[in-house]
A and B are shown apart, each in its own frame.
Chain A
Amino acid sequence: MEMLDLAFMQRALLAAVLVGITAPAVGIYLVQRRQALMGDGIGHVAMTGVGLGFLLNSSPVWMATLVAVVGSVGMELIRAYGKTRGDLALALLFYGGMAGGVLLINLSPTGSNANLSSYLFGSLSTVSEADITAIGILAAFVVLVTVGLRRQLFAVSQDEEFARVTGLPVRALNLLIAVTAAVTVTVAMRVVGLLLVSALMVVPVAAAQQLSKSFRATFVLAVVTGITVTLAGTVTSYYQDVPPGATIVLYAIGVFVLLTLLATPLAKRRARAAEAGAESCDAPVPATRRPSDDVKV
């Protein structure tokens, strides 16, 4: 355990835990809305922010946050208002963001492709004191939103139309989810990299679903999975010379496979129990009608 004495390892582990908590906490709402790949899109857009940060000689983390927030708000507005060709608009945004990042970073005097790749694939060992401060503040915001507003975000992600009729500020909550997702992307950027960030938002949630029946259990299990794989990946990358981001994602997929295998006998048992308890739904949707419709009940 001598790695805990190394300052850069302390920072790396702290960053990893924060990402392990925040990525699935936001990802669960994206998966619930069937927007599992939104994180990937934001990651592409955040590239331009990283490039800008290098070019303007300011912190790439904060610049990426700013650009990712603007981009995700744009995506949400396209989703909400652009009824037609929304997918094309999103594609333009994604690839524009990616290309912008590459261009800007090459224009900047301090930036290079090596620098870029530390943001694309993560670079835990170069996480600085200032990075940790930024990641900590951003992670606190994400946890506050995703846990504090879970009832409201659950309702909006479950059934937007119904949520509107309960009087919830649906537009504001949708924007909040988008902004929180953008913030999470930049939190996770230094650990798993922009290209793999979405995996950490989605895969722990997918893994948790294999066992869970409730939203609450899915949330808790996804966060536990997130923390476990980020810590395991970071430690592995210390002992074996492997890239932490890729290791973390592969661990997450490993957990998914493991839980799926565990869930199969469980699902069978549940199906059997349901069969025993079934009384009335012999006919699925739509049921057959009675022969004459004018029967009074």
Chain B
Amino acid sequence: MAAPTPEREPVISVRGATAALGARPVLRGVDLTVRRGEVVALLGANGSGKSTAVRSVIGQVPLTGGTIELFGTDRKRFRDWARVGYVPQRTTAASGVPATIREVVSSGRLSRRRFGWLTKADKAAVERAIDLVGLADRAKDSVSALSGGQHQRVLIARALASEPELLIMDEPMAGVDLASQEILASTLREQVAGGTSVLLVLHELGPLEPLIDRAVVLRDGCVVHDGPPPEALGQHALPGHDHVHPHAAGEPLRTGLLT
């Protein structure tokens, strides 16, 4: 079901995207396609432009050139945000005022019901999303009482609350303990089995590796690899792979693909 078929229509189509932060070019002609049902990982070192690429797809970073289409519609004219679930790069789901997990996840439903009361169906979708990330028994707890991994699970539940067809996640595994990583991987597996397309920024493949159909590797704002996911450590054939051997004396243990 989740197997990529090249003929399927693209849900994300980025062509020759260029973007700059201040005077510094961050994207220098990026092509990126995610087809329906595909799971694509965006990999690269810090500062390679992977977060900027994802944030330009959802309209948070303006492009200086190139085009982006979401579900075949030019991004500037795209309004159907309920089809997109977004997980921003965050270390916390908390803010200046206490809020429960249910309250935070409910705001993900705004893309389906922008104004007016939440219906029974809306509330059921919120409960389902909380259940999917394994926090059902804590729905009434304040998010400030959660661990780092649980924060990330709340952010993902918030994205799932709109029952999206496309999930865009920026480093969902950053700072997540192993137990939560496994839960996130199984949540994602269920979504993908149900036909959801996924674009996610990762620092390393980790427990998500078996799910990933294709990997796109960025370096200095350019795509240097687009194909099957490179196998983690042991495979040094990746272009631009400046891997630090984890056992090298004096070096900190690095486990990323491109460290």
Q: Is B255 an interface residue (CB 8 A)?
A: yes
B residues in contact with A209, CB < 8 Å: 97-98
How far, in Å, is B64 (CB) from chain A's closest CB?
A: 17
Q: How far is the CB of A176 from chain B (nearest CB, A)?
A: 13
Q: CB of A274 within 8 A of chain B?
A: yes
Point out the residue from B106, B107, B176 that lies within 8 Å of A162, measured CB to CB. Answer: B107
User: Once the chains bind, are B103 and A31 in contact (CB under 8 Å)?
Assistant: no
Contact A162 B86 (CB under 8 A): yes
Contact of A34 among B93, B96, B181 (CB under 8 A): B96
Q: Is B20 an interface residue (CB 8 A)?
A: no
Question: Across the interface, do B148 and A28 meet the contact criterion of CB distance under 8 Å?
Answer: no
Report how far A217 CA is from B90 CA in the complex, Å.
25
Chain A residues closer than 8 Å to B148, beta-carbon distance: 281, 284-286
Tell which of A281, A285, A294, A296 touches B179, judged by Cβ atoms closer than 8 Å: A281
Stretch at the interface among B2-10, B42-50, B138-146, B215-223: B138-146
Residues of chain A from 35 to 49 with CB closer than 8 A to chain B in the complex: 36
Asked whether, in the complex, the Cβ of B88 is within 8 Å of the Cβ of A159, the reply is yes
The answer to whether A285 touches B147 (Cβ under 8 A) is: yes
The answer to whether B96 touches A36, judged by C-beta atoms less than 8 angstroms apart, is yes
A85 within 8 A of B: no
- Kindly state the interface size class of chain B when it binds its partner: 35 or more
CB distance from B248 to the nearest CB of A (A): 15
- Is A268 close to B, CB under 8 A? no
A293 is contacted by which of B99, B141, B181, B233 (Cβ under 8 Å)?
B233
Q: Which residues of A contact B100 (CB under 8 A)?
A: 213-215
Q: Which of A151, A205, A270, A281 contacts B147 (CB 8 A)?
A: A281
Cβ-neighbour of B97 out of A31, A282, A286, A294 (below 8 A): A31
From B81, B93, B207, B233, A297 is in contact (CB under 8 Å) with B207
Looking at the complex, which of B11-19, B27-35, B109-117 is the stretch in contact with chain A?
A: B109-117
For A213, the closest partner residue in chain B by CB is B142
Closest to B134 in A: A280
Residues B115 and A293 in contact, CB atoms below 8 Å apart: no
The residues of B that contact A157 with a CB separation of less than 8 Å are 95
Q: List A contacts of B250 (CB < 8 A).
A: none
Report the separation of the CA atoms of residues A42 and B192 in the bound assembly, to the nearest whole angstrom: 49
Residues of B within 8 A of A165 (CB): 58-60, 81, 84, 86, 111
Nearest Cβ on chain A to B224's Cβ, whole angstroms: 21
Indicate whether B37 reaches chain A with its CB closer than 8 angstroms: no
Our count of residue pairs bridging A and B at CB distance below 8 angstroms stands at 149
B177 within 8 A of A: yes
Q: Are B177 and A33 in contact (CB under 8 A)?
A: no
Residue in A168, A292, A293 whose beta carbon sits within 8 Å of that of B110 in the complex: A168
B195 within 8 A of A: no
Known: A161-B60, A297-B207, A297-B209. A281 touches B150 (CB 8 A): yes
Chain A hits for B97, CB < 8 A: 28, 31-32, 205, 209, 215, 218
Give Cα A212 to B143, complex, Å.
12
Bound complex: CA A214 to CA B180 (Å): 24
B67 within 8 A of A: no
Please give me the residue from chain B that is nearest to A205 by CB atom: B97
A158 interface contact, C-beta 8 A: yes
Output the nearest chain B residue to A162 by Cβ-Cβ distance.
Answer: B88
CB-contacts of A193-233 with B (<8 A): 205, 209, 212-218
Q: Are A290 and B178 in contact (CB under 8 A)?
A: yes
Over the window 55-86 of chain B, the binary record of Cβ atoms lying under 8 Å from chain A Cβ atoms (1 yes, 0 no) is 00011100000000000000000010110101
Q: Which A residues lie within 8 Å of B180 (CB)?
A: 280-281
CB-CB nearest in chain A for B141: A213
Chain B contacts for A274, CB-based, 8 A: 145
Q: When the two chains form their complex, are residues B234 and A294 in contact, meaning their CB atoms are under 8 A apart?
A: yes
Q: A284-B147, A285-B91 are in contact. Are A166 and B96 (CB under 8 A)?
A: no
Q: Verify if B149 is at the interface (C-beta below 8 Å from A).
A: yes
> Would you give 9 A-B contacts (Cβ < 8 Å), ordered by A?
A151-B106, A152-B114, A152-B115, A154-B99, A159-B90, A159-B93, A165-B59, A290-B178, A297-B207
**A contact residues vs B (CB 8 Å cutoff):** 28, 31-34, 36, 151-152, 154-155, 157-159, 161-168, 205, 209, 212-218, 270, 274, 279-287, 289-290, 292-294, 296-297
Q: A213-B98, A297-B185 are in contact. List 19 more A-B contacts (CB 8 A).
A: A32-B97, A33-B96, A158-B95, A163-B107, A165-B60, A165-B111, A167-B79, A167-B110, A214-B103, A214-B140, A274-B145, A280-B177, A284-B177, A287-B175, A287-B176, A289-B253, A293-B232, A294-B232, A296-B210
B interface list, Cβ under 8 A from A = 58-60, 79, 81-82, 84, 86, 88, 90-91, 93, 95-100, 103-104, 106-108, 110-111, 114-115, 118, 140-142, 145, 147-150, 158, 162, 174-182, 185, 204, 206-207, 209-210, 231-234, 246, 253, 255
